[in-house]
Amino acid sequence: MGEWSEYFEDFPEENPGNWINGKFDPLGAKLQRQREAEFEQADKEANAELRQMIKDAKAKTKARSLLVTEACPQCGLETLNTYRISERFWLCECQDCGIYGKGTTHKQALQHTADALGEGLDWRDDGSLY
């Protein structure tokens, strides 16, 4: 790699990175790479901003959808939150041990949570199902 960069310093016209549309233009090629890098950075920032907006919106929906906090089938603590995200999307997440489950009814979500007992699930590591 070092040898190549030294070689290209001595023979810049041999560096394919110095050509644009078949024309030797080291400055133009450099500016083009900078513009592309800036565009990629802006795109990354926009995506990060969008992801954060979605995350915030989901957090608000979750907070609004919290229906009940009850005893967790795994750890036994009164830390199992049940959310009714929509009419047929129920979600249980233990705030202590992390076990979770979802279903189309409250009963089914609780059942799926209980079925996962001992599987080592943690919605904080795995990512929330919502």
- Residues forming contacts to Zn ion in the complex (CB under 5 A) are 72, 74-75, 94, 96-97
Give the shortest CB-42-to-Zn ion separation in angstroms. Answer: 42
80 class by beta-carbon count within 10 Å (0-12 exposed, 13-18 middle, 19+ buried):
buried
Q: Which is nearer to Zn ion, 18 or 73 (CB)?
A: 73
- Please tell me the distance from the alpha carbon of residue 69 to that of residue 71, in angstroms, as a whole number: 7
Q: Which is nearer to Zn ion, 67 or 97 (CB)?
A: 97
Give the shortest CB-70-to-Zn ion separation in angstroms. Answer: 11
Q: Which is nearer to Zn ion, 94 or 110 (CB)?
A: 94
- Please tell me the distance from the alpha carbon of residue 52 to that of residue 91, in angstroms, as a whole number: 21
Q: Which is nearer to Zn ion, 29 or 114 (CB)?
A: 114
Give the shortest CB-88-to-Zn ion separation in angstroms. Answer: 24
Contacts of 74 (CB under 8 A, 6+ apart): 94, 97, 99, 113, 117, 118
Give the shortest CB-127-to-Zn ion separation in angstroms. Answer: 18
